[in-house]
Amino acid sequence: MFKSLLIANRGEIACRVIATARRLGIRTVAVFSDADRAAMHVALADDAVRIGPAPAAESYLNQGAILDAVRETGAEAVHPGYGFLSENPAFAEAVAAAGAVFVGPPPSAIKAMGLKDAAKKLMQDAGVPVVPGYLGDDQDAGTLAREADKIGYPVLIKAVAGGGGKGMRRVDGAADFQAALEGARREAAASFGDDRMLIEKYLTRPRHIEVQVFADSHGDAVHLFERDCSLQRRHQKVIEEAPAPGMTPELRTRMGAAAVTAAKAIKYQGAGTVEFILDGKDGLAQGAFFFMEMNTRLQVEHPVTEMITGQDLVEWQLRVAAGEPLPCAQEELRIDGHAVEARLYAEDPANGFLPASGTLHHLAFPQATRSVRIDTGVAEGDTVTPFYDPMIAKVIAHGADRTEALDRLTAALNATEVAGMATNRRFLARLAAHAGFRRGEVDTGLIDRDLDALAEPDAPSPALLACAALHAAGILDAPEGGDPWSTLRGWRLWAGGATPAHLQTPAGETLEIPVTALGRGRFRLALAGGAVEAAVTARDGRRVTVDLGGNPVTVSVAAGPGWATLFLGGAEAA
């Protein structure tokens, strides 16, 4: 096993790799940009090397700076994480040339899967089923249009060198084809420097199911079952789960065998994910699946596989890269229960999922247990910068069955507290509770069909409004036994002893709630639904218990100079 490992990445995946390396007794080296000088992954590593300014092109994509760090620290191996340089064959070759081991597949395998058209032809030749489509070299617009007519609409135009949904267009009829092709080509040229396209049959209720594979240098390969990644928005995964809802043992066996065949066809080594698309209009009853692509790295969603198999996939990566055989044979692998992962992002669902940035004034997660796992690379007080992916954390839950796993995920999301910027936390919680999703009616269009309801800002409950009004009036943070009115923040008493508490709802609406002192620590709040009496009955750190008309309510209060956010039952008010 290696004595030292450089992680050529940042954020939660760098922290994740460091955790396993530390457990195995491997010295870790972090790399960081100027924006990440105080980042969590830097603090966790045994050593750290600056690799450039904040922009990724000048730091985490700067191969020369990273290779200099490898040589400077004497790192014996390099783990690329995901994104950035993880699927760059030239980087894998350069790592080897620098005398270190690339923790990933051979450059030849990365190249083989890097171009979608060549990869599909290779898979076709290996006997792996592929989606009906056109993979030809003739890129004339007229040729592509005729091929689309032959395939039959709807079709999907995809960039040959694409990924992440870029250079991709769905076309429902011939009249729309040319405009869609031009748009996809422009996007592909800007993103990849390659405007070549392939055409595929578009499945109207597509299910995105991927299979985790592992292969070693001794010729052995296994699969660690499947993950369902069908809950997507703009071709980006939102919630992933394992195993796939509705999966049959027979279909799992066939898909696993096809994935292993794909890996062996390119002499693969290490962790890889073979992505398939299925028609989900009749559940998985049709049993037909088609190869989409192979990701030659560890996936963001690998924790759900770890939770249902009990395996540490990063440890598998390190052992395989060190030349060891696979830790398990296929017959030794078992599925235990169900796991679900949600990606918590700094983004505003009510504003078109616009990425957010700024300081994490407050960040609290539920306690990690055997059933709930939090993978993050940030902590309270850190900054989410506009330079990188705005992921805050991955929230993962495990249960004996799918219902229990989803219940635990929902509870974990509701117990997560973030203040300082907009997040998709409530969007994720609503999605986890979505009736159709709960029934297993999953396909890649589910979010788009119900987007308005899923992304709509919360209407604060009367209890949350009451607590927020008490806090705005300075009552929740009054000292025990003290006079709450002494803490009023420069507000003027109304006639009759009432003070206006001004609140802003998540939808941006400003509310004015009169608060009247009744004496003996009790107050009357004039809510829209009627007046309610309130009194603070207990304080425990940030948690304050309030009696509202005889009903005890415990609210979590996070506050600092110029800001305050209250959390209650998964909802929040600022």
Domain holding 475, by residue range, is 462-573
Domain co-membership, 256 together with 124: yes
Domain co-membership, 192 together with 127: no
Secondary element (H or E) of residue 186: helix 177-192
Q: Is 56 domain-assigned?
A: yes
Domain co-membership, 62 together with 72: yes
Residue the block writes with tokens 């191969």: 63
Taking alpha carbons only, the member of 82, 328, 341, 56 closest to residue 227 is 341
- Asked if residues 26 and 5 have their Cβ atoms less than 8 Å apart, the reply is yes
Q: Is 110 domain-assigned?
A: no
13 to each of 58, 86, 289, how far by Cα in Å? 20, 12, 30
User: DSSP labels for 208-239?
Assistant: EEEEEEEE-TTS-EEEEEEEEEEEEETTEEEE
pLDDT of residue 509: 82
Domain co-membership, 404 together with 261: no
The size of the chain, in residues, is 574
Residue 344's pLDDT band, with cuts at 50, 70 and 90, is: very high
- Beta-carbon contacts of 369 under 8 Å, excluding residues fewer than 6 positions away, are none
Residue where a domain terminates, one of 183, 201, 219: 201
Domain co-membership, 311 together with 322: yes
CATH of the domain at 196: 3.30.1490.20
CATH of the domain at 434: 3.30.470.20
pLDDT of residue 243: 99
Q: Is 109 domain-assigned?
A: no
| Total count of domains within the chain | 5
Domain co-membership, 146 together with 180: yes
Q: Is 108 domain-assigned?
A: no
- Beta-carbon contacts of 323 under 8 Å, excluding residues fewer than 6 positions away, are 217
User: DSSP labels for 331-352?
Assistant: GG----SEEEEEEEESEEGGGT
Residue where a domain terminates, one of 409, 431, 455: 455
**Strands 417-419 vs 498-504: parallel, antiparallel or unpaired:** unpaired
Domain co-membership, 426 together with 346: yes
- Asked if residues 287 and 215 have their Cβ atoms less than 8 Å apart, the reply is no
Domain co-membership, 240 together with 325: yes
pLDDT of residue 165: 79
Q: Is 484 domain-assigned?
A: yes
Mean pLDDT of the 32-54 span: 98
Residue 478's pLDDT band, with cuts at 50, 70 and 90, is: low
d(CA 224, CA 222): 7
Task: Give tens-digit pLDDT for 156-168.
Answer: 999 998 777 789 9
List, by residue number, the catalytic residues: 297
- pLDDT of 444 higher than 80: yes
Domain co-membership, 363 together with 472: no
Q: Is 140 domain-assigned?
A: yes
Domain co-membership, 354 together with 440: yes
Mean pLDDT of the 129-139 span: 91
Mean pLDDT of the 66-88 span: 98
Q: Is 166 domain-assigned?
A: yes
Structure tokens at 487: 């803490």
Residue where a domain terminates, one of 271, 305, 333: 333
- pLDDT of 480 higher than 70: no
Domain co-membership, 175 together with 81: no
Domain co-membership, 325 together with 341: no
CATH of the domain at 479: 3.30.700
Q: Is 170 domain-assigned?
A: yes
What's this model's pTM, rounded to 2 decimal places?
Answer: 0.89
